[in-house]
Structures are given as structure tokens and as C-alpha cells.
Structure 1
Amino acid sequence: MHALRLSCALFIGLATCAVQAREYVYSDAHLHYVDFFQESAGMGKLLKRMAEANVEHVMLSGIPVAKKWDENEPKRPRYYAGDDANAYWYSATDGLIAHAYKQLPAEQRKRFHPFLSGFNPNDKNADAHIRRTLEMDPGLWQGIGEIFTRHDDLTALIHGDAPRADNEALARVYHLAAEYDLPVMLHSNITSKRERNPLYLAEMEAPLRNHPHVRFIWAHAGTSLEIHRHQDKLDFLLATLERLLEAYPNLYIDLSWSMLRPYLLDRQGKPDADWLQLVRRYPERFMLGSDVVGRFDSMNEYMRGFESFLDALPAEVAHKVARDNFLSILPRKVREDLQQ
């Protein structure tokens, strides 16, 4: 009888754990359908990987530059940092995104949210180009970005001056974004690979202050894998984000996979208490992204890699971060359609 009771208690305990286990549905808030050569594994592969990763919605963007295979290079590079050849602004990336989106069956399109990125952020004609693109496909584009400004070694490979998030050309783009109710994703490194201070923070903060009606998504909170390789953990990042989130209600943070370590999880894989506290304090301002580039096999690993961090949050907050917060910053018309 005692053994029977023990077995029953064990069964009930396991059942309770199973009921309490969380199942997350994700929005991938940072996805590049093509790579730096404007090539893609294709929509069929993307849909398959989304199903495996339990990703319901994706931000669908191109890459605003193309990597050159230089005449003097005997082997085609595999990434923008593969050799010293230049990269160049490539507006046709948006045509590739629009084409892929239009091939989807009507019932699938609600899961995909195209962001327009193919323009030179140093060109004061950029807003006119974006307006023409928006007018050619009314209602198709749901955001702008990822806009490349300070971007590791890529910045030096692109002809011309380093793009700045606070330049005049982009100010014109932000005004257009407000007019069309479009969120803007910015890649703006908070510092360089070696400066242990927020060297470029002012370039990101100025748009937040000067364009309060624009919803800005800061790609991986101004960090990058390249910065992590040289500096590991930026000790000023958390305090900086606390101040910015308090000061600017139009700021949203993309927690891409490259931030899992050394920020969200420690070396043993345990969620960081300070980051948990920050997300709990601003539960509607964080979203998750795989930041995959043209190939999608790692989506499941990247998105589910956030589970231990999400599990340490209150359930309501965790589900907002996993799925809802990205959808909440899309244009009002898109949000209304999703609710129907």
C-alpha cells in the first residue's frame, strides 16, 4: 500500500510539473531573408524551420549591402569579413523581399512582416526612395530596417563616410516613418571593438529624443558578436539601458541571440538577475530575434536558447517578450488585422 501511495504521489508530481511547464510561441523580431550576397535558402526552408522552432511571426528583411567578389580575390568570400573587398549599398534587396512575400499563400502572409532596408543612410535622397517604394506596394511594408550605421568592420568596407544614426539623411527617414506609422530597427554600435565606454551612444540617443513619435528597435542593444570577441561584457550596458528606457518610451530592445552570453545568461547558463529585473521593470519593451542571415537551420537553436531566461520571468512577461511585444510595435492597421 505504501508503495502504491508513493507511486501515485510521484505520478501526480510529474503531472503537475508537466502542466506547469511553459510552451512558448515566438515572434522572431530580427531575421534576414537573404545574406550578404543577396542569396537565400528559400521560403520553403524558412517555413520548415519556423515550424520546428515554434515561431509564429517573423520580421522579414533583406541586407542593405552586398559584398563584392573582387577581381583580385581567387576565392569567393562566404561572409562580408571574408576578405578586404568592399561592400556596397544594394537597393534591390527590397525587391527580393517583396517577391518572396508575394509568393506566399494568402493565409501565410499574416505571419510575415516585411521591413524595408535597401537604401544608403548617408544619402538625403533616401526618404524619397523609401516613399516611392512604399507607394508602389501600398500596405506591404510594415517597418524600416535593419538600418546599418556603426557596424563593426563592415562600416570600413562600405565606400563613403561612416553612417551615423543621428545624421540628417536618417532624420528625414524618421519623419517618413512617423508619417507612415512604421517602426525603425537601427544597428548602431554603442562603442567600438576596443573602447570600454559608450563611445557612440549620443548617435543613438539623439533620434530617440528628437523623434518621440517613432518606435525605435535597437538591434541587440548596440552590441555585437565582434564587440564581445574583443571586450567580452560591456560593464556599462545595463545601466545605460536602464536610463534610456526610463527616459524614452519609444525605445524597444532587440535581444538577439548574440546577447544570450555574456548578458542574459552567465557562463553556467543561469539567467542573470540584473537583466531579469530590467525586463520585469519594462515588460513590453523587449523582444527576441534570431538574426539569421539567409540560412535558417540555426533558428530553432537560437530561439529556444532563450527558454531558461524566459522561464525565470513571470509567465505573462515571458510570453510578451517571446511573441507579443514585437507584434505590438507594428503599424496599427497590421495589429488590427491580426486581431481579426
Structure 2
Amino acid sequence: MPLPHHRLLLAVALSLLAYPTLARDYHYSDAHLHYVDFFQESDGMTPLLEAMAAGRIDHALISGIPVAKKWHEDEPKRPRYYAGDDAGAYWYSATDVLVADAVRRLPAEQRQRLHPFLSGFNPTDKNADAHIRRMLELDPGLWQGLGEVFTRHDDLTALIYGDTPRANNEAMTRVYHLAAEYDLPVLLHSNITSKRERNPLYLAEIEEPLRNHPHVRFIWAHAGTSMEIHRHQEQLDFLLPTLERMLTDYPNLYIDLSWSVLRPYLLDKDGKPDKAWLQLVEQHPTRFMLGSDVVGRFEGLGDYLTAFNPFLDALPEQVARQVARDNFLAVLPRKQQGQLTQ
């Protein structure tokens, strides 16, 4: 039987006194957002800004998608996602033109909330750094980071025409030197393993750049995991101890806790925060950030970030607010941080 209204109000008040973290009101930064999808299409800037306002998202990393999915003549129906059929994908540099044009059209007040990352380059091509330099010189001050760079990325790796992209190949080594020169953080998708192997099969591919490029701030997308890996393996039992070691060994490593990390790691099947992950974040309070990883569609954008609230609420309040909003802003180029107004 429902409580009488006055008793219900009393019960709510007592619960807030007992659990004050339940009353927290977060603002967010979205550290992983794609303005376009795998067909280079988007809902547009107006829906994005409206979704940010509705979701209390003060700032967002905005990037393109560095590949385009091909609609092959053998496929009778236009695919809706890169995994929709067996057709390949190809590196697509014009994705950055689409992002740059959308951002340039905004008034200055709105532009300050969006942080464009340049992604439209082939990470297996040793000419990539020259292309990136040209793009930076064409729009001085526009680009605030590089990525999301696709290296090991589930089935997408096999679908992309050309060589297998790796985070530690010679082409990316040149890109990292350029990132250090321009003080640009790098958002890197590099799966820690494959769908089947229950060991950190590809760990060396990201650990080598972390070790060799200490002046580059690396944001590791999804903490090296993916939903496709989880479909086959559920939890990776080696992930947490690996992150514990790497965060200690590499002060230039930052972790993107986008949606595929939320479950089964941060929250259990009952929605309760995992104590070991809470402890890890508390030990490294400046090194974690949230991301939606939406691709060109922005309806319900805020829901992807508020889904982390049970985990945030279990952290000390200052740490929670850093993870929700401030840590992403702290990895941006130093000259950009001085221009932030809110």
C-alpha cells in the first residue's frame, strides 16, 4: 500500500539525509561523440546542441568517422551499420570537412562548447602526418585533438580496405610526434584482445606508444574493450589488473568510460557499482572520463551519460564531478584550456 503523502515526503527527506549523494546534480562533458555515422550522415548541429542542453552536457568532443561503409552492388539493401553486411569500408578524409563546416557555422558562444578532433586519415599510411599537418594549417586553432583513431576495432578491422591498422605501426609513430608538437591529445581505439582470445592479445600495440611517447596524452577508447568482445566473452578478468598497472606506469594514459564499459564492469547485473572499479577511479581521480560514442544520431544523448550516475554517486563528490565533466577538459591543449569560459 502506498504511503500517505506526508509520510512519503518524510521518508524521502530521511533518505536524502542518509544518502546525500543521491541528491547530486551533475554537469557533463561528452568525451567521445561522432558528428556523423558510417555513411557520413548526421542529424545535424541543431539537434546535437538541443540534446546537449537537455542532458546538461556543457562540453563535447566532436569528431567524424574516419571510414565510410560501402554499399556494394552485391548487397540488395543499403546497410544501416558497418556490420550490416559483408561489404568493406574505406578511409574517408572528407569526414573532417563535414565536422569543420558544421562547427564554423556556429556562433562563437556555441563553438566554445564543442572540441573538434581530427580523424580523417589512414593510420597505416606514413603520409598521414603530412596530411594532418596540412589540415591543422588550413584551420589554425580549430582542431583540439586527434581521433577517434581506428586501429584494432572488432570486425571493422577486417572490413577496412588495405593493411591492418595498429596503434604501434610506423605511420602512427609519425602521427604521435606531430601530436606532441601541437600539444594534441589522441583518442585511440585499440582493442586489448580479440573476440575469442581470453588474454591481452593486442596489449603491446597500445603499450608501446604509451612508453615511447610520454609527452602525448592518450585517451584509450572504451578502456580497450568493445560490446562485440563482451558478446563473446562477457567480462575480461585481466582488464582491471592491467589497467591498474598501466595507470601507474604511464601518467599519459587516460581512460574513456564510454557505454560499453558501463556494463559489465562499472555496474553489476543489479545496477550496483563495482567496488574494485570505484577504488581504481579513486586512486587515479584525474584519469577517467565519460563518453556517449553516439554516431550521428543525438536523440537521448544525455541518457548515455546519466546512466553512469549510480557509479558516480558512489564516488567522493569531487572525484565524481571530475569524471563527469572536468577531466576531459583538462586533457585539451593548454592554450585551449585558457579560453574555456564555463
Smaller-chain TM-score bracket: over 0.9
Residue 286 of structure 2: which of 284, 287, 291 is its match?
284
Query: Identity over the aligned pairs, expressed in percent?
Result: 73
Instruction: Specify the alignment match of 2:133 in structure 1.
Output: 131
Which stretch of structure 1 is more off in the superposition, 16-25 or 83-92?
A: 16-25
CA distance in 2, matches of 1:11, 1:117: 48
- Cα gap change, 1:333/1:274 in structure 2, threshold over 3 Å: closer, same or farther? same
Q: Supply the AA of the counterpart residue of 1:195.
A: E
Match of residue 114, structure 1, among 106, 113, 116:
116
Match among 271, 274, 279 for residue 273 of structure 2: 271
Q: Residue 27 of structure 1: SS of its match in structure 2? A: strand
| Corresponding residue number in structure 2 for 1:296 | 298
Q: 1:41 to 1:280 in 2, by over 3 A?
A: same
Tell me, yes or no, if structure 1 residue 207 matches structure 2 residue 233: no
The aligned counterpart of 2:60 is 58
1:35 is aligned to: 37
2:178 corresponds in structure 1 to 176
Normalising by structure 2, what TM-score?
0.95
* 2:3 equivalent in structure 1: none
Which string of whole-angstrom CA distances, capped at 9 and with x for unpartnered residues, describes residues 127-163 of structure 1? Answer: 0000000000000000000000000000111112211
Distance 2:10 2:211 in 1: 58
Once the two structures are superposed, residues 99-145 of structure 1 have per-residue CA deviations (whole angstroms, 9 ceiling, x without a partner) of: 01011111111100000000000000000000000000000000000
**Residue aligning to 1:90:** 92
CA spacing shift, 1:332–1:70, aligned 2, 3 Å: same
Q: Distance in 1 between matches of 2:13 and 2:81?
A: 52
Q: How does 1:221-240 map to 2 (within 5 A)?
A: 221-240=223-242
Structure 2 counterpart of 1:73, from 72, 75, 90: 75
Length-normalised TM-score, structure 1? 0.95
> C-alpha separation between the residues in 1 aligned to 2:88 and 2:13?
62
Could you give the per-residue CA deviations for residues 67-124 of structure 1, whole angstroms, max 9, x where no partner exists? 0001111110000000011100000000000001011111111100000000000000
Secondary structure, aligned partner of 1:36: coil
Q: Indicate the residue corresponding to 2:155 in structure 1.
A: 153
| Distance verdict in 2 for CA 1:11–1:143, change over 3 Å | closer
Q: Which residue of 1 aligns with 2:104?
A: 102
Q: Does the 8 Å contact 1:292/1:298 carry over to 2? A: no
SS of residue paired to 1:153: helix
Report deviation, 1:284: 0.2
Contact 1:276 1:313 in 2 (8 A): yes
Amino acid at match of 1:105: P
Q: Which of 335, 338, 342 is the equivalent residue of 1:336?
A: 338
1:1-16 alignment, distance < 5 Å: 13=14, 16=17
Distance of aligned partners of 1:273 and 1:88 in 2 relative to their CA distance in 1, 3 Å threshold: same
1:48 positional shift: 1.2
Task: Write the letter of the residue equivalent to 1:120.
Answer: N
Distance 1:9 1:299 in 2: 34
After alignment, is 45-54 or 258-267 more displaced?
A: 45-54
In structure 2, how many angstroms separate the alpha carbons of the residues matched to 1:279 and 1:154?
Answer: 30
Paired with 2:207 and 2:16, the residues of 1 have a C-alpha distance of: 49
CA change 1:186–1:272 in 2 (3 A) is: same
CA distance in 2, matches of 1:127, 1:135: 12
Find the aligned partners of 1:243 and 1:297 in 2 and give their Cα distance.
Answer: 37
For structure 1, the 5+ residue unaligned runs are: none
Cα pair distance change 1:317/1:72, threshold 3 Å: same
Q: 2:48: which partner in 1? A: 46
The answer to whether the 8 Å contact 1:66/1:88 transfers is yes
Deviation at 1:223, TM superposition (A): 0.3
1:253 lines up with 2:263 in the alignment = no
The structure-2 alpha-carbon separation of the partners of 1:23 and 1:194, relative to structure 1 and needing over 3 Å to count, comes to same
CA distance in 2, matches of 1:205, 1:293: 27
Conserved 8 A contact 1:62-1:93 = yes
> Which amino acid in structure 2 is aligned with residue 68 of structure 1?
K
Matched to 1:171, the amino acid is T
Q: In structure 2, the residue corresponding to 1:289 is in which secondary structure?
A: coil
Return the alpha-carbon distance in structure 1 between the equivalents of residues 135 and 117 of structure 2: 12
1:197-249 Cα deviation digits (max 9, x unpaired): 00000000000000000000000011000000000000000000000000000
Give the aligned residue type for 1:296: F
What's the C-alpha RMSD, in Å, of the aligned pairs?
1.8
Number of aligned residues: 336
